[in-house]
Amino acid sequence: MEEITIIVDDKMDGLRIDKALRDKVDLSRTKLQKLIAEGLVCVDDEPVKSNYKVKLDEEITVDLPEEVEYVVRPSKMDLDIVYEDDDIIVLNKEKGMIVHPTASTKELTLVEGVLYHCGKLSDVNGVLRPGVVHRIDKDTTGLIIMAKNNQAHEFLAEQLANHKMSRKYFVLVHGVIGHDHGTIDAPIGRDPYDRQKMAVTDKNSKDSITYFTVIERFENHSLIECSLKTGRTHQIRVHMEYIGFPVVNDPKYSFRKQKGDGQLLHAHQLTFVHPTTEESMTVNADLPEDFKRYLQELREEVGYNE
């Protein structure tokens, strides 16, 4: 799969994305609209609709799949379902599971298991992202909400865009944080030196705010709870590395010795307004066993148990 990256310039500013791209990529308008509908055109890592108007300095990525198109394969798998009704399903995602496929994905993804279980999901974000309202990283565990129909999807997506959906994470970081609470207000964009990573940067970035509270301190680590005002790619991981307390076992943003696979970051609480009842709901997910074991080892090092 080929990826094309374009930064919005003065001439493109304010144009519909399909029109803005017409002079930048050698594709017909029909092909562009098809890629947009399939969720393969993103602005700052988020898929957009064809009527989206681009803004100066935004980063557009266009994924050009091979001629053989990826087909989402509904597949039976063990799902940890925390809540489900006719409109939504909330799951506790395990480590190592990708949320949705891309044109180059070869392994099964969460949406394929959910699609098998539900039969149908919303198609707002295209054929490769059925039901996906928000994402969490492959090795991040915890809660993710998916929509079964377009009405529910749009209702939830609006909450997310307006910062009305609350997401809280337990995170184990290297280092002992001295203060009990903190706010990290630092813009995040693509790392100018490594396009596979995000970074705190003033270039082609977006405002990013993370709040944290220290839950427990150890000899050389801290357990914190993070909440997000914004939801940028890898936001917690980037922000914690930026202030000098990288997430434990983070293969991308921590240069410390790893002990296990994947970052110790768990989405433990999700609060939202239900799309049909319009009542506030809060769901919780307990820490995974490997996270618990790591904490127990740290407690034993300092001479006390839970």
Q: What is the pLDDT of residue 69?
A: 55
pLDDT in tens, 125-151: 888 889 999 999 999 999 999 999 999
Question: What's the mean pLDDT in 6-33?
Answer: 87
Model pLDDT for residues 248-303, shown as the tens digit of each residue:
999 999 887 777 778 999 999 999 999 999 999 999 999 999 999 999 999 998 77
Residue with the two structure tokens 């301190």:
217
pLDDT tens string 164-191:
999 999 999 999 999 999 999 999 998 8
Q: What is the Cα–Cα distance from 102 to 75, expressed in whole angstroms? A: 16
CATH of 81-162, one of 3.20.20.70, 3.40.50.300, 3.30.2350.10, 1.10.260.40: 3.30.2350.10
Q: How confident is the model at residue 104 (pLDDT cuts 50, 70, 90)?
A: low
Q: Domain 2-64, what architecture?
A: Roll (3.10)
pTM over 0.85: no
Describe the strand order of the beta sheet including 46-47 as a list of residue ranges. Answer: 2-7, 59-64, 41-43, 46-47
What is the residue-averaged pLDDT of the chain? Answer: 91
pLDDT at 68 over 50: no
Mean pLDDT confidence for 32-52: 89
Distance of CA 173 to the CA centre of its chain: 19
Question: How far from 281 is each of 164, 201, 271, 278, CA to CA, in Å?
Answer: 12, 35, 6, 9
Mean pLDDT for the stretch of residues 53-65: 88
Amino acid 217: pLDDT: 97
Asked if residue 159 has pLDDT above 70, the reply is yes
For residue 302, how many other CB atoms are within 10 A of its CB? 11
The domain made up of 167-267+291-301 has a fold known as: Pseudouridine synthase (3.30.2350)
**Average pLDDT for residues 64-71, to the nearest whole number?**
63
Identify whether the C-beta of residue 147 lies closer than 8 Å to the C-beta of residue 87: yes
- Parallel, antiparallel, or unpaired for β 166-174 and 181-185? unpaired
Measured at the CA of 33, the angle between CA 27 and CA 36, to 5 degrees, comes to: 105
Average pLDDT over residues 18-35: 84
Q: What is the pLDDT of residue 218?
A: 96
Domain ranges of the chain: 2-64, 81-162, 167-267+291-301
**Beta partners for residue 115, in sequence order:** none
**Residue keyed to tokens 């809280």:** 168
- Please report the pLDDT score of residue 66 as a whole number: 62
pLDDT score for 238: 97
The CA distance from 304 to 306, in Å, is 7
- pLDDT number for residue 91: 98
Q: What is the separation of C-alpha 249 from the centre of its chain, rounded to a whole number of angstroms?
A: 18
Structural contact between residues 98 and 109, judged by C-beta atoms closer than 8 angstroms: yes
Q: What is the reported pLDDT for 70?
A: 62
What does the alpha-carbon distance between residue 185 and residue 70 come to, in Å, rounded to a whole number? Answer: 38
> In terms of DSSP bridges, do strands 221-228 and 209-217 run parallel, antiparallel, or are they unpaired?
antiparallel
- Catalytic residue, from 137, 139, 191, 250: name it: 137
Helix (H) or strand (E) holding 212: strand 209-217
Q: What is the pLDDT of residue 31?
A: 82
Identical fold for domains 81-162 and 167-267+291-301, yes or no, is yes
286 is catalytic: no
Distance CA 289, CA 5 (A): 39
**Amino acid symbol at 31:** K
From CA 16, how far away is CA 14, in angstroms rounded? 7
